[in-house]
Amino acid sequence: MGKLSRVAWLYIALVVVAAAVLVARGPYSMVHWPQVITLGLLLAASESTATRLGSRSLAWSSSSVASLAAVVLAGPLGAALVACCSLLGIRRGPSPMQRAFNTGMYALSAYLAGEVYLLFGGQVGTPGPTSFPGIIGPYAAATVTHVAVNFALLRGVFWLAGEPHSTKTLLSLKLLVTDIGYGALGILIAALWEVVGPFTPVLVLIPLFVARWAVAQFAAQQRAYEATVSALCQAVETKDFYTRGHSERVSKGSVMIAKEIGMRAERVEAIRFAGMLHDVGKLGVPTAVLQKSGKLTDDEYAAVQLHPMRGLDIVRDIGFLDEALAGIMHHHERIDGRGYPMGLAGDEIPEFARVLAVADAFDAMTSTRSYSHARPVPEAVAELRKWAGKQFDPAFVDAFVAAIERDGWRPPQPAVPEPAIEPEFAEPAALGHRATGTAVANSNGSSIIEAAVGANGTTANGSAVSGPAVAPDVVATADGQPGPLIIESL
């Protein structure tokens, strides 16, 4: 975690104090200490071998198995005492503050799980043959409570600490269900205790380490996903200095819209990947075309318009992208059907593509490029509203504006080109702004003329361009009337 706010510190303190009060008030007369100590050592061993998930701030251990076994064998207080043994874990990484919070969180989760177990009619003590199947219902309720409280407290601290969305996404329904499933090992320990006694935890060490290995594989897969996406983004952005950070900001904006309209967590994560990779097709566009400072030829502009399809070709075999592929392919489509590459209109355009189009355009308007200056956020918002229903989906424009008004938006700092290292015999590349006046035909056959506006707001021949001044590229129809707005030239 980064630097914590006062509210986050207060939240952590409340969790720790609440756990301390519950443990301190006892009573200890009914605690069976051999069971608590044995299960506490099992929990400490599990905590010491926790596996890090995709975020540096989040790790998973099978410690809940010991806590849940204690719920049955030792009751709410005994379970909380076992949970406190997480302080004995020797895992490197957590700070004293994190260890204190984790201990308080585990203790609260275990104590509340114990109370729910009793509430549903569970009996504290070593279960015998007659305890089944009656014990299964109370134990299942206790397991769900333990995992739910654990996840809720974690989400709270991550939200207050301002952790990135990817960290909170890891606390997904899939991981929650997985945790509940592994919790079943707790009742196995409790049931075997009558036969094996304190040696019972030894018998479950192998299943516990298998569980750890499975979660570690899941975490490694998530890290591989992130590394793949990051590598592709870096490859794209090295082609054009002025668009560095663009993919990340489009991803952020798309996530804001997705959360505002209530997309489920798995789709929010997919659209985050779509935002990161929406321009990956530019890898198939020659660098000389992307960085060209003069007028694009017909063939060059046609190559640029192919980048959504090239992007699909590049990433179509990456299995985890799923619905993101449609967003990458169609993010330059328009609600009025005058976009590319297929000229889809309205609801024909995939939902992900309509979300990406809004975030993509907004970042283009609020970023400084080699051919245009950044616009203030209010002006960019006004342009989104102006073109809602023509270029953009009005519902997603409204959702984005609402998210910006609530959470704010920090535009990027103007990019400063890095000095190029040229061979002594080579002419240094001239820096300039792109200007095009190429006639092209869109998918519905109508002829349009695209003119890239330079920093001075004129086309290549110096004549003024009609249309929205905020756009790097303004399109006019052949008769001179304003045509479809294209926020990005590429």
Residue 298 sits in a domain whose CATH number is 1.10.3210.10
Residue 378: inside a domain, yes or no? Answer: yes
59: its two tokens: 């790790």
Residue 164, pLDDT above cutoff 70: no
415 pLDDT band (50/70/90 cuts)?
A: low
Query: What's the whole-number mean pLDDT along residues 257-263?
Result: 95
The answer on 169 and 278 residing in a single domain is no
What is the structure's pLDDT at 443?
37
482 pLDDT band (50/70/90 cuts)?
A: very low
Domain extent, residue 351, equals 238-407
390 pLDDT band (50/70/90 cuts)?
A: very high
The answer on 254 and 201 residing in a single domain is no
What is the structure's pLDDT at 55?
55
Instruction: Report pTM.
Output: 0.61
Final residue belonging to a domain, choices 407, 437, 470: 407
More confident residue, 181 or 60: 181
- Which residues, at least 6 apart from 142, have a Cβ–Cβ distance to it below 8 Å? 68, 71, 113, 114, 116, 117, 120, 122
The answer on 251 and 142 residing in a single domain is no
CB neighbour class for 190 (10 Å; exposed up to 12, middle 13-18, buried from 19): buried
What is the structure's pLDDT at 9?
94
Considering the chain, what percentage of its residues have pLDDT values greater than 90? Answer: 46
As a whole number of Å, the end-to-end CA separation of the chain is 37
The answer on 266 and 198 residing in a single domain is no
The answer on 209 and 251 residing in a single domain is no
Residue 296: inside a domain, yes or no? Answer: yes
What is the structure's pLDDT at 293?
67
What is the structure's pLDDT at 336?
95
What is the structure's pLDDT at 239?
74
23 pLDDT band (50/70/90 cuts)?
A: very high
More confident residue, 361 or 437: 361
The answer on 280 and 213 residing in a single domain is no
- pLDDT tens figures, 186-221: 999 999 998 888 888 888 877 777 877 887 787 788
The answer on 201 and 270 residing in a single domain is no
The answer on 167 and 99 residing in a single domain is yes
Query: What's the whole-number mean pLDDT along residues 227-251?
Result: 82
Query: What's the whole-number mean pLDDT along residues 37-42?
Result: 93
- Are 361 and 381 contacting, i.e. CB atoms less than 8 angstroms apart? no
More confident residue, 456 or 178: 178
Domains contained in the chain, number: 2
- Are 449 and 476 contacting, i.e. CB atoms less than 8 angstroms apart? yes
Angle between helix axes 33-48 and 205-237 (nearest 10 degrees) is: 30
What is the structure's pLDDT at 54?
60
Query: What's the whole-number mean pLDDT along residues 152-178?
Result: 72
Query: What's the whole-number mean pLDDT along residues 100-110?
Result: 96
Residue 431: inside a domain, yes or no? Answer: no
What is the structure's pLDDT at 241?
65
Residue 471: inside a domain, yes or no? Answer: no
The answer on 168 and 99 residing in a single domain is yes
- pLDDT tens figures, 243-254: 778 899 999 999
The answer on 394 and 286 residing in a single domain is yes
416 pLDDT band (50/70/90 cuts)?
A: low
User: What CATH number corresponds to the domain at position 198?
Assistant: 1.10.1760
Final residue belonging to a domain, choices 167, 193, 222: 222
Asked if the peptide bond before residue 27 counts as cis, ω within 30 degrees of 0, the response is yes
The answer on 294 and 183 residing in a single domain is no
Final residue belonging to a domain, choices 222, 250, 274: 222
Residue 404, pLDDT above cutoff 90: yes
The answer on 102 and 22 residing in a single domain is yes
CB neighbour class for 126 (10 Å; exposed up to 12, middle 13-18, buried from 19): middle
- pLDDT tens figures, 292-344: 767 778 888 788 888 899 999 989 888 788 889 999 999 999 999 999 899 99
Residue 113, pLDDT above cutoff 60: yes
What does pLDDT average to over the chain?
A: 80
Residue 447, pLDDT above cutoff 70: no
What is the structure's pLDDT at 451?
29
What is the structure's pLDDT at 378?
94
What is the structure's pLDDT at 57?
60
Total residue length of the chain = 490
Considering the chain, what percentage of its residues have pLDDT values greater than 70? Answer: 79
